[in-house]
């Protein structure tokens, strides 16, 4: 949905005069006669006219604002639903990866236990053989020759266990680190990064071993035990995993008055789930300002609780309008007071105040009164901007009419 406010370059709380002035400037700048070389000039000029046609009419503007609010709310809801779906899919993938890792770790642990048992048996046989040789050198020589096939068989006995653990178990012979990580954890960026890092380190270690350089802490992939390989990969993947994702912010609006902003008192809001929160209005709060309530938003499985982002909307006031931290008010003056100057009284947030209107003041000229606006984020306050409005009398005055005619047409005798 096209944002007519951005088309005219005004804020959503802009007044009728501000919208009219912005339309005149935009229409003049994008007029096709002024942009003959621009093929989109007609479209942009039509768009500006359509935006002004809607925003200048209070009823059309109200319907447009309501429709736009519905579209924005629907977009926010769709974003939240998509993020929830992504969170559920990520949690399911993590659950599957954890189950795979636990299963393979258990199988590898069993394989390591069998290998350790076989190694222990071979070591015991070697020790017994060494003792018998020390006690009877001559008999040991004959016995050694006689038992040579048995010794060879005993030394080769762990071989089937090692083959079983590398071929019949999860670590397949010739399987690369990338294949092992992908099989356990899936095709995730974190797993790919961990496998790539381990591959580079094992290749570098293998080159150092071939050149005779001292080895580091990483074994080549060809001799790295499966349990060590998987443990190393798990540590690496855990190291690059981001912290738990925060649930999306809950975006709401709060309507406040100028008196609320001046008093800096909290205002209550009610969320869609029925919870009632209080929004603090500290220095710097103004129209469109976003107040973030930490940890008060949505709570989704597997994610940390989100925030509540409250956008402030200032309610219309009979005396003042909000422009940033400044407050604006209009002061009507008569034609003679605009020409000759006068003293006038203007309403301020602190009560009535007497000011001086300079001579020869035109309409839309402003008088700026500092430190009478809204509290800003620097500990000070904005200004009260008094806009002069030159007003004619309710009924025509013959003397003024004759004077204006003489000034326009000249004096004829």
In this model, does residue 164 exceed pLDDT 50? Answer: no
Superfamily covering domain 250-316: Urease metallochaperone UreE, N-terminal domain (2.60.260.20)
- Say what the pLDDT of residue 1 is: 67
Closest CA to 227 of 381, 116, 309, 134: 116
Largest CA distance in the chain: 158
- Cβ(165)–Cβ(226) under 8 Å? yes
Whose CA is closest to 385, among 305, 321, 302?
321
The pLDDT of 348-360, averaged and rounded, is 94
- CA–CA dist 53, 61 (Å, integer): 9
**pLDDT over 60 (residue 381):** yes
Distance, CA of 1 to chain centre:
23
For 277-301, give one letter per residue: b (16+ CB within 10 A) or e: bebebebebbbebebebeebbbebe
Q: Are 362 and 338 in contact (CB under 8 A)?
A: yes
Lowest-pLDDT range of 69-83, 245-259, 290-304: 69-83
- pLDDT range class, residue 236, cuts 50, 70, 90: low
Q: What are phi and psi of 205, to 5 degrees?
A: -65, -40
pLDDT of residue 139: 54
Candidate ranges 12-26, 97-111, 211-225, 331-345; pick with highest mean pLDDT: 331-345
Confidence of residue 261 (pLDDT cuts 50, 70, 90): very high
What residue spans define the domains of the chain?
A: 171-242, 250-316, 321-409
Higher pLDDT among residues 357 and 115, named by residue: 357
Which of 29-33, 226-230, 328-332, 339-343 has the weakest average pLDDT? 226-230
CATH topology agreement for domains 250-316 and 321-409? yes
138-162 tens-digit pLDDT:
555 555 555 555 544 444 444 444 4
Fold observed for domain 321-409: HSP40/DNAj peptide-binding domain (2.60.260)
Measure the CA–CA gap between 224 and 152, rounded to whole angstroms: 26
Q: What is the 3-state secondary structure (H, E, C) of the chain?
A: CCCHHHHHCCCCCCCHHHHHHHHHHHHHHHCHHHCCCCCCHHHHHHHHHHHHHHHCCHHHHHHHHHHHHHHHHHHHHHHHHHHHHHHHHHHHHHHHHHHHHHHHHHHHHHHHHHHHHHHHHHHHHHHHHHHHHHHCHHHHHHHHHHCHHHHHHHHHCHHHHHHHHHHHCCCCCCCCHHHHHHHHHCCCHHHHHHHHHHHHHHHHHHHHHHHCCCCCCCCCCCCCCHHHHHHHHHHHHHHHCCCCCECCCEEEEEEECHHHHHHCCCEEEECCCCCEEEECCCCCCCCCCEEEECCCCCCCCCCECCCEEEEEEECCCCCCEEECCEEEEEEEEEHHHHHHCEEEEEEECCEEEEEEECCCCCCCCEEEECCCCCECCCCCECCEEEEEEEECCCCCCHHHHHHHHHHHHCCCC
Instruction: Identify the residue whose tokens are 């912010």.
Output: 249
pLDDT of residue 256: 94
Map tokens 């300002």 to a residue: 289
Task: Kindly tell me if the per-residue pLDDT of 387 is higher than 90.
Answer: yes
- Average pLDDT along the chain: 78
What percent of the chain stands above pLDDT 70?
Answer: 72
Supply the pTM of this predicted model: 0.45
pLDDT of 131 > 70? The answer is yes
């Amino acid at each position: 949905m096209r944002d007519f406010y951005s088309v005219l370059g005004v804020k959503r709380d802009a007044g009728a005069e501000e919208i009219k002035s912005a339309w005149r400037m935009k229409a003049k700048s994008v007029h096709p006669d002024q942009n003959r070389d621009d093929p989109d000039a007609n479209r942009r000029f039509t768009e500006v006219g359509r935006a002004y046609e809607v925003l200048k009419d209070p009823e059309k503007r109200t319907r447009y604002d309501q429709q736009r609010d519905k579209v924005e709310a629907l977009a926010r809801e769709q974003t939240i639903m998509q993020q929830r779906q992504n969170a559920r899919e990520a949690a399911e993938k993590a659950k599957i990866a954890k189950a795979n890792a636990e299963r393979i770790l258990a199988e590898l642990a069993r394989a390591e236990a069998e290998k350790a048992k076989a190694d222990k048996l071979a070591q015991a046989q070697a020790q017994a053989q060494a003792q018998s040789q020390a006690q009877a050198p001559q008999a040991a020589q004959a016995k050694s020759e006689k038992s040579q096939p048995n010794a060879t068989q005993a030394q080769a006995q762990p071989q089937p266990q090692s083959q079983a653990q590398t071929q019949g178990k999860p670590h397949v012979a010739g399987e690369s680190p990338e294949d092992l990580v992908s099989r356990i954890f899936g095709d995730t960026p974190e797993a790919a990064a961990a496998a790539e890092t381990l591959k580079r380190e094992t290749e570098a270690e293998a080159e150092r071993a071939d050149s005779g350089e001292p080895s580091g802490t990483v074994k080549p992939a060809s001799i790295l035990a499966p349990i060590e390989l998987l443990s190393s990969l798990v540590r690496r993947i855990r190291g690059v995993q981001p912290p738990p994702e925060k649930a999306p912010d809950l975006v709401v609006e709060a309507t406040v008055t100028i008196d609320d902003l001046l008093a800096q008192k909290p205002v209550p809001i009610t969320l869609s789930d029925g919870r009632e929160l209080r929004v603090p209005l500290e220095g710097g709060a103004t129209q469109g300002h976003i107040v973030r309530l930490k940890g008060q938003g949505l709570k989704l499985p597997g994610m940390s609780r989100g925030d509540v982002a409250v956008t402030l909307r200032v309610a219309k006031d009979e005396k003042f309008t909000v422009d940033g931290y400044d407050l604006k008010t209009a002061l009507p003056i008569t034609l003679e007071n605009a020409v000759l100057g006068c003293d006038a009284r203007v309403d301020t947030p602190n009560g009535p105040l007497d000011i001086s209107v300079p001579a020869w003041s035109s309409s839309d000229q402003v008088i700026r009164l500092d430190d009478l606006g809204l509290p800003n984020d620097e500990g000070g306050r904005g200004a009260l901007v008094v806009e002069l409005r030159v007003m004619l009398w309710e009924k025509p005055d013959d003397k003024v009419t004759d004077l204006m005619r003489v000034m326009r047409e000249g004096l004829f005798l």
